[in-house]
Amino acid sequence: MRTTWSSYSNPRLVFGPGALNQVGQVVSRLGGARTLLITDPIMEGLGVVERVASVLKTELKVYAKGEIEPSTDAVSRCAALAREFNPDVTVAIGGGSNMDLAKLTCATVSSGKEPASMLGFDAVPGPIGNLVCIPTTAGTGSEASHSAVICNSDTGMKVAALSHYLRPQVAIVDPELTLSCPKKLTADSGIDALSHAIEGYLATDFSTLETNDSGILAYEGNHPIGDLYSEKCIRLISEHFLKAVHEPSNIEARSGMALAATLGGLAFSNCGVALVHALAYPIGNRYKSSHGAGNGIALPEVMRFLKGSRAERLARIGALLGVDADAAIEEVIRLRKEADLPERIADVGGRREDLPELAATAFKLEPLMALSPAKVDEQDLLAILEASF
Ligand SMILES: [Fe+2]
């Protein structure tokens, strides 16, 4: 039986309204003389690039061609520019897409490997250099996680690269940057953060996972430090999620959600994601629905499936959400509904006859199946999908 676990986090997290103003000091501290800024046209239009340029004391090159769901081809294009410019610090500003693009760009430049060859677990061969991530949405937690989700240009499938080398050196989390985040994206991102915390909290115990020769696992399974991240994240989401969705300029709510998202990133990138994310990936790939929508659809029924194996933890989630021990699932359903998120697979264009294929695809994600605290087979996944249809 495994008797040890590891905990991972960024070396530095700068948090709070106005944190963006510290990017100049952060980059100097990393010894930067040449900074590559990776972002997208929307952020550029909002004046964020200008703000960063005004406080950086280094030479600056801007790559503002970040796109939604970046592909391995996009990584190759960005890496070509990075090779030419040869930065010593890379700064990513945006949602998960820009941060993940920057992560795999840094890995590509530092390793000399093809981006597609680094998808999957532990395929990044070494440190990726100085990367500073600055999120403008509150959800993916990419600023704190070891994950980069990239679309493989050869297969058209979204795949995660998971490597502890992909955790940024510094996360600068400035809730003011999320004030302009649209309502739907705020809801999508928030339910993703909640899914990270709940999946990490309900993941199988670290002791049940098998050791390997390297001692490095994609996910550690549930452990005490992961619990701290999850518990605080769930509490914050209970307090701030709906306010952030419906009162976009409420900085207190935005701050609560920004912190929750980072904590969710730390929770899942330590303890793991499991059945919810495993089901959300094929739903998103098949119907081109958002990652958050798929998670929100799957989350309550997966929680119901885990009632037998994780009753105590589900009760604790209820308490963290401010409801009775047996009302955690109903509360998640309420939050989803009041945030105007899709509730059923049919709401994102799903067809009942697709469900067996979705279940089969999810079941093939073995590392995620291994994180489930209850033994699961394809029929179980199909039942969860049918209940979520
Ligand atoms: Fe996620």
Is pLDDT at 66 greater than 90 in this prediction? yes
Residue in this structure with the two tokens 């619990």, named with its chain if needed: 227
| C-alpha 246 – ligand 1 centre gap (Å) | 22
Q: Tell me, yes or no, whether 162 and 248 share the same domain.
A: no
Measured over the CA atoms of residue 384, residue 385, residue 386 and residue 389, the dihedral's sign is: positive
| C-alpha 154 – ligand 1 centre gap (Å) | 23
| C-alpha 144 – ligand 1 centre gap (Å) | 13
Task: Give tens-digit pLDDT for 224-240.
Answer: 999 999 999 999 999 99
Q: Tell me, yes or no, whether 162 and 190 share the same domain.
A: no
Is pLDDT at 213 greater than 90 in this prediction? no
Is pLDDT at 211 greater than 90 in this prediction? no
Question: What was the pLDDT predicted at 215?
Answer: 87
For residue 10, being part of any structural domain is answered with: no
Is pLDDT at 99 greater than 90 in this prediction? yes
Q: HSE of 200 in the Cβ direction (CA atoms, 13 Å)?
A: 32
Q: How confident is the model at residue 243 (pLDDT cuts 50, 70, 90)?
A: very high
Q: Tell me, yes or no, whether 152 and 192 share the same domain.
A: no
| C-alpha 126 – ligand 1 centre gap (Å) | 24
Residue in this structure with the two tokens 């963290």, named with its chain if needed: 320
The residues, any chain, with a CB within 8 Å of residue 296's CB and separated by 6 or more, are 188, 191, 195, 336, 341, 342, 343
Question: What was the pLDDT predicted at 157?
Answer: 85
For residue 306, being part of any structural domain is answered with: yes
Is pLDDT at 352 greater than 90 in this prediction? yes
Q: What is the mean pLDDT of residues 260-278?
A: 98
Question: What was the pLDDT predicted at 100?
Answer: 98
Q: Tell me, yes or no, whether 239 and 309 share the same domain.
A: yes
For residue 13, being part of any structural domain is answered with: no
Other beta carbons within 10 Å of 248? 16
Q: What value does the mean pLDDT of the chain take?
A: 96
- The end-to-end CA distance of the chain, in Å, is 38
Number of domains in the chain: 2
Is pLDDT at 325 greater than 90 in this prediction? no
Report every protein residue that has its C-beta within 5 angstroms of ion ligand 1: 192
Q: Which domain holds residue 159?
A: 19-173
Question: What was the pLDDT predicted at 156?
Answer: 87
For residue 299, being part of any structural domain is answered with: yes
Question: CATH number, domain at 62?
Answer: 3.40.50.1970
Residue in this structure with the two tokens 């703000």, named with its chain if needed: 51
